């Protein structure tokens, strides 16, 4: 996405009711505009309602329209380019993107969608822009079959990813690239992790069932929900019986080969899900490192809710002099910063904010972290390298380069994971795991 210029704003028409579709369209269009200027979706959502005036339903509608518009951004932009000779003012363009997505998904509601989008347009700019929005959307309805056919023959519009991303995935996964791109556009599944210090997977499964929440036990102890649920509806959530965590992220304790009394490091710990999971599974001494103080606070909050304790340090894990006491660790979790290309359905802004050259930047940072952390690992110890990426430069190629630099390192096989790469699917997001042992 390229930064967009802003336009002066006035309110020439009465403000629509806060629970109206027009208000939801306005809220989503504003968030889409913020993302297009470089703000992350996480930050935009955090700033959405600072005065807490929105109801849960109103906030949920804005969030839903924003997520879906961003997932389909490549398609919406394609449609709009065929419907207009030149781009409209930024705010109107963002509104049209939201409305076009809704029209394609809900054609039976076309009259209401167009009416509410026109009402929303009246809140944005001076001039005959209500008529412009009305004309563009009605033109889409007349030409929807033609436009859909054309979009399905355009890679960016069809797969809803940037062209460079499509090419990268196609090269890396010649047999699976289409299913990977498709998985990146669907609504993500919701899974829970039982806190084994307070319950069991079987007991939690039963508790959820009694509350009318259907779940399915998974091989690694996770519970996959049939339908996503607000945490406020999850019985025992505030009491620390469970956490929300993708199934693919719940392999860490098993792969790390934990044992009581071990000295363990979680090197890039925020928001603390994997930190907590390790502590739930084993009595050990855990140090969690996080660079960002605000994200470190999230670790503290998660540990407090779950009744767990760790030594938390705010530092750059690759600057050993800032935090390491010289005592080696038995196990290290290196869940390193990455492109997050495996979790784009949860963070659809990533597809449009990332650039191709970002991959090399992440790879360089990962290599620096790996090389530094290796000095802190005990001989005979194990390090689990983790990303939520699908790009080989951050995964298998990264590990291969690391092994060539470190003669005392070897990669161990992972039972049930042929190459350590989990591709995104209906049950879980995309992750990569590599278990590295230090001999000597």
Q: Catalytic positions, please? A: 388
**Closest of 425, 430, 424, 427 to residue 395, by C-alpha:** 430
For the chain, the three-class secondary structure string (H helix, E strand, C coil) is CCCCCCCCCCCCCCCCCCCCHHHHHHHHHHHHHHHHCCCCHHHHHHCCCCCCCCCHHHHHHHHHHHHHHHHCHHHHHHHHHHHCCCCCCHHHHHHHHHHHHHHHHCHHHHHHHHHHHHHHHCCCCCCCHHHHHHHHHHHHHHHHHHHHHHHCCCHHHHHCCCHHHHHHHHHHCCCCHHHHHHHCCCCCCCEEEECCCCCCHHHHHHHHHHCCCCEEECCCCCEEECCCCCHHHCCCCCCCCEEECCHHHCCHHHHHCCCCCCEEEECCCCCCHHHHHHHHHCCCEEEEEECCHHHHHHHHHHHHHHCCCCEEEECCCCCHHHCCCCCCEEEEEEECCCCCHHHCCCCCHHHHHCCCCHHHHHHHHHHHHHHHHHCCEEEEEEEEEEECCCCHHHCHHHHHHHHHHCCCEEEECECCECCCEECCCCCCCCEEEEEEEECC
* Cross-strand pairs, 263: 285
Residue 177: CB atoms within 10 Å: 18
Q: Is the dihedral of CA 373, 374, 379, 385 positive or negative?
A: positive
Q: CA torsion 56→59→63→69, rounded to 10°?
A: 130
**In angstroms, rounded to a whole number, what is the distance separating the alpha carbons of residues 203 and 220?**
16
Contacts of 418 (CB under 8 A, 6+ apart): none
C-beta separation of 284 from 256 below 8 A: no
Contacts of 151 (CB under 8 A, 6+ apart): 75, 78, 79, 157, 158
């Amino acid at each position: 996405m390229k930064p967009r210029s802003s336009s002066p704003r006035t309110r020439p028409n009465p403000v629509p009711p806060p629970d109206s579709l027009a208000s939801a369209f306005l809220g989503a269009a504003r968030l889409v505009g913020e993302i297009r200027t470089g703000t992350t979706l996480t930050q935009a959502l955090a700033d959405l309602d600072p005065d807490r005036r929105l109801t849960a339903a109103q906030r949920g509608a804005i969030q839903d329209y924003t997520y879906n518009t961003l997932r389909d951004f490549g398609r919406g932009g394609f449609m709009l380019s065929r419907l207009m000779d030149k781009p409209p003012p930024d705010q109107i363009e963002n509104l049209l993107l939201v409305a076009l997505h809704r029209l394609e998904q809900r054609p039976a509601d076309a009259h209401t969608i167009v009416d509410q989008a026109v009402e929303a347009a009246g809140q944005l700019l001076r001039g005959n822009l209500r008529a412009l929005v009305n004309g563009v959307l009605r033109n889409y309805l007349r030409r929807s079959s033609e436009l859909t056919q054309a979009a399905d023959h355009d890679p960016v519009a069809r797969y809803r990813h940037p062209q460079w991303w499509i090419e990268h995935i196609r090269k890396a996964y010649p047999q699976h690239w289409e299913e990977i791109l498709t998985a990146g556009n669907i609504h993500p599944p919701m899974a829970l992790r039982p806190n084994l210090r307070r319950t069991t997977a079987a007991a939690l499964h039963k508790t959820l069932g009694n509350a009318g929440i259907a779940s399915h036990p998974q091989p690694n102890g996770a519970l996959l929900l049939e339908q996503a649920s607000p945490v406020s509806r999850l019985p025992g959530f505030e009491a620390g019986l469970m956490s929300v965590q993708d199934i693919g992220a719940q392999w860490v304790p098993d792969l790390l080969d934990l044992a009581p009394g071990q000295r363990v490091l979680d090197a890039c710990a925020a928001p603390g899900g994997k930190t907590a999971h390790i502590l739930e599974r084993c009595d050990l001494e855990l140090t969690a490192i996080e660079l960002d103080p605000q994200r470190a606070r999230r670790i503290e909050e998660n540990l407090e809710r779950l009744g767990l304790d760790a030594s938390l340090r705010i530092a750059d894990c690759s600057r050993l002099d800032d935090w390491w006491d010289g005592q080696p660790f038995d196990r290290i979790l290196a869940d390193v910063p990455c492109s997050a290309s495996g979790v784009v359905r949860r963070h659809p802004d990533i597809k449009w904010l990332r650039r191709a050259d970002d991959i090399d930047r992440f790879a360089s940072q990962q290599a620096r972290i790996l090389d530094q952390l290796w000095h802190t690992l005990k001989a005979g110890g194990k390090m689990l390298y983790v990303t939520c990426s699908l790009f080989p430069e951050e995964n298998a190629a990264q590990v291969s380069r690391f092994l060539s630099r470190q003669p005392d390192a070897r990669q161990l096989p992972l039972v049930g994971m042929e190459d350590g790469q989990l591709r995104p699917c209906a049950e879980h997001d995309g992750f990569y795991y590599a278990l590295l042992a230090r001999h000597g």
